[in-house]
Every structure is written in structure tokens, then in C-alpha cells.
Amino acid sequence: MSELSRSGGAPREQLPIITNRQGMFGIHGSGDTTGFAGLTRVVRMEGQTTPPFGSWFDEVYEVLCEVLTDQGLNPEEVIELAVVHLDEFTLHIAAPFIEQVCRALRDEQDLRFELCLGVSGVHYPQDTDRELHAVYHLMSLTHGGRVLRLEVSVPDSNPHIPTVVDVYPGNDWQERETWDLMGIVFDGHPALTRTAMPDDWVGHPQRKDYPLSGIPVEYKGAVVPPADTRRNYS
């Protein structure tokens, strides 16, 4: 029999492959100094979990679907995927609806996820047309500290997601940082400027396609040569 995924859905071999990782940290060639260069592992994205989900997950899912329906939305179009993995609940939300979903989760009395702990970006280069993921962690203080994860996926060719700053003002800085380091554009943000890199910096340094060396660095007139030209180990 096939091994089922830990989310309780499809067999693992049917889940989408994100990458085939080699070595301890996915390093190819002679750069792996861990002693695990021969280690290989298939990394897969967890798939749809079949209800009932268990715990409070069913209640939140059902109430959210009811609220979206009352707003004239089709929950099946809004919620792309529901995943229970390692006792955590993740809802994959279609990008155009993230602000409405967050507002419903915050305001509905049976949900009351009043706190957003921020948004961060993840880059999966092999996840075709969904390379960039924005991940939100919400907490309900009213309902005893429940934590819900929302995930929005967009292509790197059109990395636009509506801002949720109007719903969770504390996300202002987090969205700016995710834009700065990952390149996700949060449409409607009041001031989407960089947080760590200079305003005229080209590229987003935490993406996996960003070069690790060979980039001239200049801050306030001081020029630092690229790392691969500063030292010679031969």
C-alpha cells in the first residue's frame, strides 16, 4: 500500500514535488562540508486534507465558508487548499481575496483572529507559476490562543498580493520587509519601501535565485569589492 501523507490526504508519491534535495543543505558539487553529500531527499508540498480535520479546525473552516458565502463569494474559489500537517492548520487563499478573508477572520465573533503575527515570504523556484509564497500567522486571543496559518502563492512573473494593512496595521513593516527581501509586491500598501536594502538596490537578497557573491556593494560612497575578489585561497 502507498504511504499516505501526514496531512491525511493523497499518497505521498502523488504530492507535488518542490525539489530533490542533495546533501544536508541542498548544496551541489564540492561545497558540502557536512559529510552528508550523499544524502538525497524528495521535498514535497503537503496536499489537501480531507475533512473532518479534527480539533477546532472544522469549526473555523465551516464558519469562514459561511461568512464568505454571505458576502457573495464562492469558498471553493477563495480557499484553494486546506491542510492539516503536524497539528497545524493552513488555508491556502487565492491572492485576490486575502484582504476579505483576513477581515472575516478578524471580525466574525465565532472566529476573532484579532492578532496577525506578521507575514513572511518563501521562494520555491520549482513551484511553477506559484514560485513566491506569502505566509501569515493569525492568533485568536478570544478563543484561547488558536493559531491559524494563511498562505498565498503568486508567480514571480506577477508577484502581486493585496495589502492587509487596513485589517492588521502591524503588518505595515512586515509587508515592507517581505517586499524588500523576497520581491512580493503588496498592492495598496501605504508606503511600500525597502527596510534593509537601499532604495535603489536591484534584486531581493533572500530569494533562492539571488547570487551569493560577485555583487558590488556600495553604501554612502564606500565601495566594498565583491566577496570573490577580496580573498585568494590558492
First CA to last CA distance, the chain? 54
Within-domain flag for 32? no
Across the 234 residues of the chain, what is the mean pLDDT of every consecutive 10-residue run?
45 63 66 73 81 95 98 97 94 98 98 97 91 98 97 97 98 96 97 89 90 70 66 50
Please tell me the predicted confidence (pLDDT) of residue 43.
Answer: 75
| 138 and 188 within one domain | yes
Residue with cell 550523499: 38
Same domain, 60 and 133: yes
| pLDDT at 223 (0 to 100) | 67
**116 shares a domain with 69:** yes
pLDDT score, position 1: 30
Query: Burial, 78: exposed, middle or buried (Cβ in 10 Å; 0-12, 13-18, 19+)?
Result: buried
- Shared-domain flag, residues 42 and 69: no
pLDDT at 75: 97
pLDDT of residue 163: 98
Residue 33 lies in a domain: no
Handedness of CA 192, 128, 8, 51 (dihedral sign): positive
DSSP 136-180: EEEEETTTTSEEEEEEEEE-TTS-EEE--TTT-TTHHHHHHHHHH
* Residue 2 and residue 65 in one domain: no
Q: pLDDT value at position 64?
A: 98
Same domain? For 93 and 170 the reply is yes
Number of domains in the chain: 2
The DSSP result for 207-224, as a single string, is STTS-SS---EEETTEEE
Structural domain contains residue 8 = yes
Q: Rounded to whole angstroms, how far apart are CA atoms 208 and 121?
A: 11
Single pTM value for the model: 0.82
Note whether 83 and 11 are same-domain residues. no
One domain for residues 169 and 197: yes
Element at 12 (helix H, strand E) = none
Residues 201 and 98 in one domain: yes
> Which pLDDT score is estimated for 228?
63
CATH of the domain at 75: 3.30.460.80
Q: Answer yes or no: are the C-beta atoms of 105 and 97 closer than 8 Å.
A: no
Cα(96)–Cα(163) distance, rounded to whole angstroms?
10
Domain containing 139: what range?
Answer: 48-228
